[in-house]
């Protein structure tokens, strides 16, 4: 699967190339029977701009950060929590066998020093399903069990959430989150040269990398169409993993870089995950 590549010096946020949605990003690769398709509901991306020194201990040295310029003029790296509900999770070859469960991904945005490929680095994932045992033990993914609940009300006429709240009961990554959906389109994102560049980096990474549970580097690939998010705000936030890892202390969690919300979107996940070489 193709990924967005860069040849500029990633340590300098002012050198960030302008990026655009090309055919490699917008063309869905062929699926096989074992791949997964799922409609994701209550999808949001809650991001924080933080000092890269906070994130460096948690990311393999092969990857440098996709930096932006912070409000204080200093380089920052974005870290995001991405909660959603898999509403009809199914294998391509078994479309009638569907599953529904909550999921939250925790990630940051990186560039492979060797290849120049952009990717997201996953700190890990919470999954509200007994099937978490499969990726956790068979593929050694950093996935963890959690009881995820959404309390949401979406206005189909206004095309915005009247209520958006989610909680996770988990030893690894407890969460209590409440968002306000403005219903307004996103027109700019701080720290980026233009909105399309921001959209490519923040909403459209197709390659994920991570430390496997056996210490090796792993990867998996996804595909989805362009997102069409609205601007949100945090009403309250208690994101346990970000505080525990020293990425975003609880005292800073009501001051995000951005909150993007989308009622529904379809994702394709290409299986199985593999080693990252």
The closest alpha carbon to 108, from 148, 150, 57, belongs to 57
Average pLDDT, the chain: 93
Domains of the chain in start order, with CATH, are 13-18+36-271 (2.40.400.10)
- Virtual torsion, Cα 124, 128, 129, 130, nearest 10 deg: 80
Residue 180: beta bridge partners?
233
- pLDDT bin (cut points 50, 70, 90) of residue 9 is very low
Chain segment 35-65, per-residue pLDDT in tens:
999 999 999 999 999 999 999 999 999 999 9
Region of poorest pLDDT, from 4-18, 115-129, 212-226, 248-262: 4-18
Q: Alpha-carbon distance 66 to 170, whole Å?
A: 30
Q: Alpha-carbon distance 64 to 49, whole Å?
A: 16
Q: Alpha-carbon distance 23 to 226, whole Å?
A: 12
pLDDT of residue 16: 55
């Amino acid at each position: 699967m193709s990924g967005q590549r860069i040849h500029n010096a990633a340590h300098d946020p002012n050198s960030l190339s302008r990026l655009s949605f090309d055919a490699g990003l917008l063309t869905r690769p062929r699926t096989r029977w074992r791949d997964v398709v799922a409609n994701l509901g209550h999808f949001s991306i809650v991001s924080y701009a933080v000092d890269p020194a906070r994130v460096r201990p948690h990311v393999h040295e092969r990857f440098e950060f996709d930096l932006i310029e912070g409000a204080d003029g200093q380089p920052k790296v974005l870290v995001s929590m991405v909660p959603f509900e898999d509403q009809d999770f199914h294998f391509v070859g078994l479309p009638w066998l569907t599953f529904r469960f909550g999921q939250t991904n925790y990630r940051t945005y990186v560039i492979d020093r060797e290849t120049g490929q952009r990717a997201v680095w996953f700190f890990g994932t919470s999954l509200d399903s007994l099937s978490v045992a499969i990726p956790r033990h068979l593929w050694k993914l950093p996935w963890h069990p959690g009881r995820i609940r959404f309390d949401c009300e979406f206005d189909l006429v206004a095309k915005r959430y009247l209520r958006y709240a989610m909680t996770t009961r988990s030893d690894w990554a407890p969460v209590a989150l409440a968002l306000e959906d403005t219903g307004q389109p996103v027109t700019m994102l701080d720290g980026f040269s233009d909105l399309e560049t921001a959209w490519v980096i923040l909403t459209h990474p197709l390659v994920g990398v991570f430390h496997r549970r056996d210490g090796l580097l792993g990867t998996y690939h996804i595909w989805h169409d362009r997102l069409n998010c609205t601007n949100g705000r945090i009403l309250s936030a208690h994101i346990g993993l970000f505080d525990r890892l020293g990425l975003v202390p609880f005292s800073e969690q009501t001051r995000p870089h951005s909150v993007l919300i989308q009622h529904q979107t379809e994702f394709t996940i290409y299986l199985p995950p593999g080693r990252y070489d």
